Structure 1
Amino acid sequence: MTTAVAETWTGGDGGRAAVAAAARQVVKAYGSGETRVVALDRVDVDIERGAFTAIMGPSGSGKSTLMHCLAGLDTVTSGSIRVGDQEITGLKDKKLTRLRRDRIGFIFQAYNLLPTLNAAENITLPMDIAGRKVDRAWLGRVVDTVGLGGRLKHRPNQLSGGQQQRVAVARALAARPEIVFGDEPTGNLDSRSGAEVLEFLRRSVDELGQTMVMVTHDPVAAAYADRVLYLADGRIVDEMHRPTAEKVLDRMRMFAPAGEPLRARGERPAGAVAGSAS
C-alpha cells in the first residue's frame, strides 16, 4: 500500500516533519441552544508520523472525542481533519469506511476477538474480510514485535488478558496502517500486563516505524510516548516532550478539576498501607 506523506512546518528553523493526521480549528458540539455542549473548541494539532503521541486530560476534557474525530469515527461540527494528505471532513460513509479499513488501525480496552478463531486468524481477519493479501514477511515482524510467536494457534479463551490485547495490537498493525489509535488500550489490564502491552506499542514505533496515538488517564502509560498533549475544556492547553511518569503526573495536577484525585497506576493514595484496597 502506498502511503501518502503530508508535511507541515515545525517552527522557525525551516525544518519539516511528516504529519500522519492533523486537525484545524476543529469544533465538536452536541445539542443546541441552552443545552449545547462544546466537546472540542477550535482545536489545532498535528500528529507526527513515526512517533508515539499520548492524549491526556480530566474526565470530559475532550480527549476521546479528539481521537474519534482524528480517526474518522466521529464527525466534526466545523473545522477540518486530514489523514495524511487527504481531507476526511465531509467524506461519505462508504469512503470513510474504506479509509478506516485501509489506512487506520484501532486498539480499544475491549479486545474484540472472535472466540471461535485462533490468534493468527483473529490477527488477519480484517484483511481476510477486505479480500487483501496478507504480507507474510510484515506479519512475521509484527508477531515477533508483540511476542506472540508461540501463541498463534491458541484461541482467546486459552490466552491471558495481556496476551489477548497483544493479539489486538498485532491485528491493528498487521494491515500496515498509516496510523494506529488506542483508546485506553491497557485500561482492563493489571500493571504487569499493561506494561508489556505498552512496551510492544513502543517497539512498534521504534522498530516498525508505526505512528501511534493513545488516549490514556495513566501517567505511567503516557511516559511511553514521545509527546503528551493535555486537554482541558475541549482545548489543547499544554504539551510535553520526552515525558516521565512523575513529570506527567505533576502536569496533570495543574489541570485536574478541584477534588479529582490523580495518581499513577499502582500508586497508593496518601495514608494507604501496603495491601489495602484503593
Structure 2
Amino acid sequence: MPQTHHRTNAAPPCSVVAMAEDLTKVYGEGESRVVALAGVSARFLEGEFTAIMGPSGSGKSTFMHCLAGLDTPTSGTARIADTDLGPLDDARLTRLRRERVGFVFQAFNLLPTLTALENITLPSALAGRSPDPEWLRHLVETMGIADRLDHRPAQLSGGQQQRVACARALASRPAVVFADEPTGNLDSRSGAEVLSLLRSSARDLGQTIVMVTHDPVAAAYADRALFLADGRIVHEMPEPTAAGVLDLMKRFDGRTPTP
C-alpha cells in the first residue's frame, strides 16, 4: 500500500483551471425527483491532482460530468479556465472538450481497429491539428509504450491500454484531464502504474487532474481528496493517505459522515 505520493519540490500551483460555483443537478419531477447535486462549489488549480470520493449515489460522477461539459447542470456555473460552459451550444462545447479537456475512462474507450499511436492522436486529428512531435515522443516514453505504438488494443494488456488512454488524454496538452474510475478494470500492479503516471503528469508536467474513484489507495496518489455525500462536498482532505481515506469512509453511513 502506498504511503505518500505528493509533490515535494514542485512549484505551488497558481491559476484556476476548472471551477464549479453552486452547481445543482435535479433529475425528474414530483415523487421521482432526485437531487444529484445540491450546490457544489470547488476550484481546481494548475498542476493539482484531486480525487473525488463518496458513497454510491453521492453525486461524484454527476459532478465530474457537469464540470467537464458532458452533462448540463440544472443551475450554477461550471468553468474551464475563464470559459463559462453554460452559454455554449453543442458545437462549441464539443470544440472546447477537444481543445481544452482530456478524458480517461474505466473502460479505456480505445478504438479496436486503430493502433495505439492512432488512438493517441485521434482527438488531435478530429480537431484538425497535428500533435507536437517532441511532446508526443516525450509522452509515449514517459508512459512506457514507445515499443507498442503499432499494436492494436487487443494486442495490449489492460495496463498498457490504459497508458495509451492516458497518453491520448494528454497529447493535446488540455487544460484539465478528467479520469472516471481509471483503475477500476485493472489489477493492482497495472493500477499503480497508471496512478503513478497521472501523479507525475500533475507534478512534473503541470497537468490538472480530476479523478473520480472509490478506492482509498488510488486517492492516496492525489494532492487532495474531496468527499461528496447527498450531492454536497462534506469534507476536504489535503495530502490524503489510504489509511486516512479509509477511516473517513468507514464513518459514512451512506449519506453523511459522522463526526
TM over 0.5: yes
Q: CA deviation at 1:16?
A: 9.0
Residue 211 of structure 1 is matched in structure 2 by: 208
Aligned counterparts of 2:119 and 2:229: Cα–Cα separation in 1: 37
Instruction: Provide the aligned length of Structure 1 versus Structure 2.
Output: 244
Residue 70 of structure 1 is matched in structure 2 by: 67
Residue 144 of structure 1 is matched in structure 2 by: 141
Aligned counterparts of 1:16 and 1:221: Cα–Cα separation in 2: 22
When the two chains are superposed, the root-mean-square deviation of aligned CA atoms in Å is: 1.4
Distance 1:58 1:123, change over 3 A: same
Aligned counterparts of 2:25 and 2:121: Cα–Cα separation in 1: 34
Q: CA deviation at 1:36?
A: 1.1
Q: What secondary structure, in the 3-state scheme, does the structure 2 residue paired with 1:17 have?
A: coil
Report Cα offsets for 1:89-133 as digits up to 9, x if no partner.
131111111101110000001111122221111100111122102
In terms of Rg, which structure is larger?
Answer: 1
8 A Cα contact 1:145 1:203, kept in partner? no
**Which residue, out of 44, 47, 71, partners 1:47?**
44
Is residue 251 from structure 1 mapped to residue 252 from structure 2 by the alignment? no
Residue 25 of structure 1 is matched in structure 2 by: 22
Aligned counterparts of 1:145 and 1:17: Cα–Cα separation in 2: 25
Q: What secondary structure, in the 3-state scheme, does the structure 2 residue paired with 1:187 have?
A: coil
- TM-score by length of structure 2 reads 0.91
1:1-278 map, 5 Å: 17-257=14-254
8 A Cα contact 2:77 2:84, kept in partner? yes
Q: CA deviation at 1:63?
A: 0.3
8 A Cα contact 1:145 1:204, kept in partner? no
Aligned counterparts of 1:63 and 1:16: Cα–Cα separation in 2: 24
Which blocks of at least 5 consecutive residues in structure 1 are unaligned? 1-14, 259-278
Aligned counterparts of 1:61 and 1:207: Cα–Cα separation in 2: 32
Aligned counterparts of 1:226 and 1:240: Cα–Cα separation in 2: 9
State which drifts further: 48-57 or 107-116.
107-116
8 A Cα contact 2:95 2:127, kept in partner? no
State which drifts further: 237-246 or 32-41.
32-41
Q: CA deviation at 1:256?
A: 4.0
Q: What secondary structure, in the 3-state scheme, does the structure 1 residue paired with 2:16 have?
A: strand
Q: CA deviation at 1:74?
A: 0.3
8 A Cα contact 1:20 1:178, kept in partner? yes
Aligned counterparts of 2:130 and 2:254: Cα–Cα separation in 1: 49
Identity %: 66
Aligned counterparts of 1:54 and 1:85: Cα–Cα separation in 2: 22
Aligned counterparts of 1:139 and 1:16: Cα–Cα separation in 2: 24
Aligned counterparts of 1:68 and 1:215: Cα–Cα separation in 2: 10
Aligned counterparts of 1:219 and 1:255: Cα–Cα separation in 2: 14
- TM-score by length of structure 1 reads 0.85
Q: CA deviation at 1:219?
A: 0.2
Aligned counterparts of 1:42 and 1:71: Cα–Cα separation in 2: 17
Aligned counterparts of 1:17 and 1:123: Cα–Cα separation in 2: 29
